[in-house]
Chain A
Amino acid sequence: MSLLECNALNMSFGGAKVLSNVDITAEAGAITGLIGPNGAGKTTLFNVITGLLQPTSGTVLLDGRNITGLKPFKRSRLGVARTFQRLELFTSLSVRDNIRVAGEIGAKWQRNSADLTAETDRVLDQLGIRDLADRDVTEIPTGMARRVEVGRALMTRPKILLLDEPASGQNEDETDEFADLLLELCATGTSILLVEHDVALVMKVCSFVQVLDFGVVIATGTPEEIQSNSLVLDAYLGAEQTP
């Protein structure tokens, strides 16, 4: 049984079919990659998994439990956390408070009495943004802001973390550093579903990759298999004209 399982998800906006019969899985203790060209439906899929959108049909299972009808906050409490491709930071709060408040929201339902100040500092260190902690979140570079979103999601202690293009806006060095962070998180028990355009990053950290194109899963397999899959190459590079 996979940790996260999407079965035959369909999603339409008016006449536009954005997801059709999408089956996606993410295994426990692994980083699963989800790639696809712009407009393939990746972010919509994340919205469906987290409950911000209700699918037209299909089911989402977490640990075998059907969570399709649950509200977003209930899914979060069961262990689904995410970041947003279009940043959704709390723009009135500092970097530290952005992360801290996630823990404070969690303290309401986790009933943990963990020291949130220490926990926040730990996450800031882990993400390498400690020296930005007191900055206004609107004035830091996008790449760093994405890390803040990751930190915020980590404060909920998720079983599965959905990352929506976390490396865009980070430079090469930062991305390398970030790859190590993802591997470390995975090793300490957080499973990850990673949407990313940086193919090198995906190939480096993912043990399994699924490819979405125009709302349809066109390929699944190990990074090596995906790299040589002709359908995937067509989707990204365009099919060669055959006379």
Chain B
Amino acid sequence: MQDFLAYTVLGICLGSVYAIAATGIVVTYTTSGMFNFAHGAVATMCALVYWQLNQAWHVPGLIAVVLTICFFAPALGIFLELVVMRGLRDTNEVTKLVVPIAVLLAITGTATWIWFRDGARAIVPKKFFGARNIDVLGQPVYYHQVIGVVLAAAIAIGLYLVMYRTRLGVTMRATVDDRRLLMLNGGRPDHASMASWGIGCGLAGLAGVLLASQQGALQVFALTLLVIDSYAAAVAGRLRSVPIAYIGAMVLGLARSYFDMVSNAGQNWPAIANMRNAIPAILLFAALLLLPQGRLRGAVVTRTRERFNVPTMKQAVAWGAILIVGVAMLQALMKGAAVINLTNSMALSLMALSLVLLTGYAGEINLAVYAFAGIALIAAWQFDVGPGGLATQESLSLAAIVLAMVICAFIGGLIALPALRLSGLYLGLATFAFGVIVYQLVILQPRPLQGSIFGQQFTVNFFTNGSVTVPRPRWFGVDFRNERSFLILLTVMFVVIGIMLIRLRRSAYGRMIIAMKDSPAACATLGMNITRLKLGVFMLSAAIAGLGGLMWAAQQRTVASNNNFDGFASLLLFMIAVVCGIGYVSGALLAGVFLSVLSLAIPNVFQKLGSDYESLHWLFVTGLGNFAKFVGAALIGIRLARNPSGIAQQVMDGFRPLRRVPVGTGVWVASIVIWWLLAWRGVIGNWTFALGVIVSAFIVPRLLMAMYPQRFIDEGNDGREDLDMIGLSRPFITSDRELFDRELAIPLARRGGSDVTA
């Protein structure tokens, strides 16, 4: 009984910190309509700033707290609102989630860059009032924790009053409901948004400072995840209710505390030793199951800024062939190490393809692609290799791949089901939670699962020794253990699945998926069972993610349990895929290249420059190299707000001149082939080749535009002539009349014929 009371007290202390974080999320969501995924990162950043002020610069504790929470955090929030979030109006749900994810990665990256660029170090923020404590029901409680409990309750009550009883609160809530109407009524929604981001980040900062000093040495990702745990509480309140979020946070804190009690801090049951860390994710699922079905969304805005064209099948097949030939030509020039990078990027592209279907076509979200990779890996290994060992197994069998994909689809369906009734954001959160559960309970599971079914003994191995080794395929008499042939195999796989996706997009099923994304409400009134369609898409996408993950693992041969499974890598993959152009198969290809280049190639280049020019080491390695490594990707993500259709679209627009001047295409292809031949024969080096191809690829289209200006008169207006300018830009001709009629959609029957003279 004494124990029970003591753990209750501890649970309430923890729950209070969660409550502060969760109310911050609720404030930002109810008042700006944005789910601030970066909340946890802001909290971590603030904890580090507090440490820097207080312990590194010896600013007195109280002043350091005030500076951090009342100045730094709100300033950061207002900065984010002004510079980043304001650009997200009229974008779809996916973009609205990706940009905060990019902010999360940028902030954690910056924190790592500033404080941890040379690896781990002991940053231990001090508790307020040190070790002074009072005795509550036999449990010593630090003043620090008491402050947390009191503040949490005060903030919950205070915010509730602000939101419902003050003019600012009404304005803030009105901002979400109808921004324009608010402006017409003399409200200032921009001010309200700024206030909400300021308050939200201030609360994140407070939670971070309170939490960090109870956790021992501060680790950026661990602390960020800990604050992300509080998202479950915010979801319980449907991201809108402060009181329910407060109660949810208490349940969360108590659940973790009681689990510690009954499991003796995880010691009693080694198989679920990490359950403590999975509890918030499990509670998030429980909350999703209990939430009532939301109203079916209509089209949010009449026209979102994301636009994706659909290639014809002919184009898809042609580009697929070009890709295979291109990769084959490219690898012939490359050294072994570079080929590995290229194979790695192709495997990542394959994983990103799953998101083209799910996110690009259907507008749904999966933030746990690597969790599916892990599941596929365990399944295929179990089927093909088994506990017996690898020695007997030389080839990854087709059957194992199919089995792994089926299992991924099945598990994907199971976890998506509770969230599909709700909006896409909830599916995103559910998948992220699922990723955390899989990581904590399956990937980090040190023990094999043993049991028996119908008298048959079985053993399922997870990442038993901290890693799993998968064989590479040997099919059709070709040994794909060879790096180069494996690269070609992955390229062919990418092309085949890519073409299948485009085929699907052009089919009736594809049109239904697009219709569902555009207006679920209209689809329902046309008789579509939306949940079933979404479920099907999610399962198919999970299967592709599993296949991609399996190939990604086979590319590395041995995958360690701490390799990319902790949730953040999935966020990065999702973000980069969206930035590259999630509506296109080519976007997935670019995503793989980007991830590979950003994580390997660019830091390597700066490393090389740093060692070549010793005196500028600080600039190249400490500065630019680390910056690119830790923050670069995220900054690209934040730019998405400016161009929501992604990079692939821009690249294709850049090549549009080629389509208009067929001769130009010939010149373009010829120039690249010539560069390749020169490199292949060893006349020029690889750097010269790369430079030459880049110059040819980008200069030739520009040259064509300069040489044949008359073919590009109408550029810059969605490819059509600007009708308002006719008569000024060129003389009016009789046939324009027909053009105007057509553009104004005057039905044929009533068009007066061509006898009218203008």
Contacts and interface: CB of A to CB of B under 8 A. Distances in A.
Interface of A: 50-53, 71-73, 75-77, 80-82, 84, 86-93, 97-98, 100-102, 104-109, 116, 128-129, 131-132, 135, 138, 140-141, 144, 152-153, 155-156, 173-174
A143 to B, nearest CB: 8
Contacts of A129: 747
Interface string B644-658: 000000000000000
A131 B747 CA distance: 7
Given A73-B528, A88-B519, A156-B526, A101 B747 contact: no
Interface of B: 295-296, 298-299, 302-304, 307-308, 508, 511-512, 514-515, 517-519, 521-530, 742, 744-745, 747-750
A100 B524 contact: no
B525 A104 contact: no
A131 B518 contact: no
B511 A138 contact: no
Contact of A128 (B304, B511, B519, B747): B747
B748 A71 contact: no
A84 B747 contact: no
Given A89-B299, A131-B748, A106 B527 contact: yes
A147 to B, nearest CB: 10
Contacts of A52: 295-296, 521, 524-525
A91 B523 contact: no
Contact of A152 (B296, B308, B526, B742): B526
B747 A93 contact: no
A50 B519 contact: no
A172 B299 CA distance: 29
Given A92-B514, A105-B512, A128-B749, A72 B296 contact: yes
Given A76-B527, A141-B744, A156-B526, A92 B298 contact: no
Contacts of B296: 52, 72
Given A88-B298, A101-B511, A132 B745 contact: yes
Contacts of A128: 747, 749
A103 to B, nearest CB: 9
B526 A90 contact: no
Contacts of B514: 90, 92-93, 101
Given A76-B526, A105-B526, 7 more contacts: A80-B525, A87-B302, A88-B299, A90-B519, A131-B742, A153-B525, A156-B527
A50 B302 contact: no
B550 to A, nearest CB: 32
A73 B530 CA distance: 8
A90 B529 CA distance: 17
A67 to B, nearest CB: 13
Nearest to B527: A76
B719 to A, nearest CB: 12
Contacts of A174: 747
A52 B519 CA distance: 13
B295 A138 contact: no
A144 B376 CA distance: 50
6 contacts: A52-B296, A52-B521, A92-B308, A92-B518, A97-B511, A128-B747
B459 to A, nearest CB: 44
A72 B525 contact: yes
A72 B519 CA distance: 13
A137 B156 CA distance: 47
A107 B521 contact: no
Pick the 9 closest A-B CB pairs, nearest first: A76-B527, A72-B524, A104-B508, A88-B522, A90-B518, A101-B511, A90-B515, A88-B519, A105-B528
B337 to A, nearest CB: 42
A60 to B, nearest CB: 14
A82 B523 CA distance: 11
A86 B524 contact: no
A97 B310 CA distance: 13
A91 B518 contact: yes
Contacts of A141: 744-745
Contacts of B742: 131
Contacts of B295: 52-53
A129 B742 CA distance: 11
Contacts of B302: 87, 91, 138
Contacts of B515: 90, 93, 98, 101, 105
A93 B521 contact: no
B299 A91 contact: yes
Interface centre among B295, B511, B512, B526 (most CB of A within 10 A): B526
A175 to B, nearest CB: 13
Contact of B522 (A53, A84, A135): A84
A100 B515 CA distance: 11
A174 B747 CA distance: 9
A107 B519 contact: no
Nearest to B749: A128
Contacts of B308: 92
A52 B298 CA distance: 10
